Amino acid sequence: MRLMLMILLICSASLAEAERIIHKEKSLYRNIEVKESNNRRCLVFAMRGGDRNQSCMSLSDPDRVVFPYARMTFAGLLLNPEPRSILIFGLGGGTLPMVLSALFPEATVDVVEIDEAVLRVAKQYFNFVESEKVKVFVQDARVYTKRAAIRKQKYDLVILDAFTGDYIPEHLMTVEFLQEVQSIMSNGGVVVANTFSTSKLYHHESVTYQTVFGDFFNFKSPGTGNRVIVTTGNPLPSKLVIQSRANRLSGKMTKYNVAIEDFPRNMKRGKDWNENLRPLTDQYSPANLLQGD
């Protein structure tokens, strides 16, 4: 017993030693920390009862996409392999816009991030750079979408990745919001949404996406609690088509540690959720209460 305690103490001490906080700030929305440990630098939204890593970068190989869910997001390319205009909600460390812009130098990448501090941190600590093609709008995603619809803007690829420390904000999970997103998608445009799959909300969220987009690819990776929804306004391509696209893209993606050729296997079309639940709407969206169940 005493021995075990000692081992525990030594382990936790060495863990604490290994992790270094290199930046800390209180933004308008949350507490932001940048931590380093084991060759990784992570953007953390600090919360009591567990910090949430938003984005991590490998220090020795910054091109590597570290998080499985971030890698899964590239499944959108299997539905539209050559996006010319990309919209991303939620900047995090800026991994997705940087990789997408490197993959498609001709494409415009618009990023919407509500928190100015996150943008500052991404630039300072995560090599994020704004450019002619990559632009960040410090704004609420819902407001941006409505304005983009009025401007009649269209995007080939829309990635929904707006997370607070807790989960996705409630007004970014409703039928009405997704309809607004749909209205700014080009013909053949693709939407990719990063969600969790571990609570009752999973079912409500699935029904909500189904209501707006119809069938979608339900993409889960073994060993993660993430689920990525991938869909388009057009009928979904066959498994054969996405597998051949994946094989073609796989060379380009190796550098980023994205094994895209393995994705189609886990992109399921079956419905493993309770279809009788009601979709989330602006009128009914207790999303973050359901998440607790």
The residues annotated with a catalytic role in the active site are 161
The answer to whether residue 170 forms part of the interface with other proteins (CB under 8 A) is: yes
* Residue 28 is a binding residue for other proteins (CB under 8 A): yes
Q: Is 80 in the site for other proteins (CB under 8 A)?
A: no
Q: Which stretch binds other proteins (CB under 8 A): 32-40, 103-111, 145-153, 218-226?
A: 145-153
Contact between 16 and other proteins per CB under 8 A: no
In terms of Cα–Cα distance, which of 226, 202, 214 is closest to 72? 226
Q: Kindly write out the interface string for residues 100-129 of this chain, putting x where it contacts other proteins by CB under 8 A and - elsewhere.
A: --------------x---------------
Q: 214 and 288 in contact (C-beta within 8 Å)? A: no
CB of 185 to other proteins, least distance (A): 19
Least CB distance to other proteins at residue 141 (A): 8
Closer residue to other proteins in complex, CB, 139/244 = 139
User: What does the alpha-carbon distance between residue 67 and residue 55 come to, in Å, rounded to a whole number?
Assistant: 7
Applying CB under 8 A, among 53, 127, 139, 266 the residue interacting with other proteins is 139
Q: Per CB under 8 A, does 142 bind other proteins? A: yes
Residues 250-289 that bind other proteins (CB under 8 A): 281-286, 289
Q: Tell me the window of 34-42, 67-75, 169-177, 244-252 that interacts with other proteins (CB under 8 A).
A: 169-177
Tell me how far CA of residue 147 lies from CA of 14, 107, 137, 139, 140, in angstroms.
50, 21, 12, 11, 11
* Half-sphere exposure at residue 61, Cβ-oriented, CA atoms within 13 angstroms: 7
User: Whose Cβ is closer to other proteins: residue 58's or residue 288's?
Assistant: 288
Q: Does 187 bind other proteins (CB under 8 A)?
A: no
146 lies in the site for other proteins, by CB under 8 A: yes
Nearer to other proteins, 143 or 241 (CB): 143
If binding is defined by CB under 8 A, does position 174 make contact with other proteins?
yes
Looking at beta carbons only, is 107 or 277 nearer to other proteins? 277
Q: Quote the crossing angle between the two packed helices 141-150 and 175-183, to the nearest 10°.
A: 40
Backbone angles phi, psi at 290, to 5 degrees: -70, -25
Q: Decide if residue 291 touches other proteins (CB under 8 A).
A: no
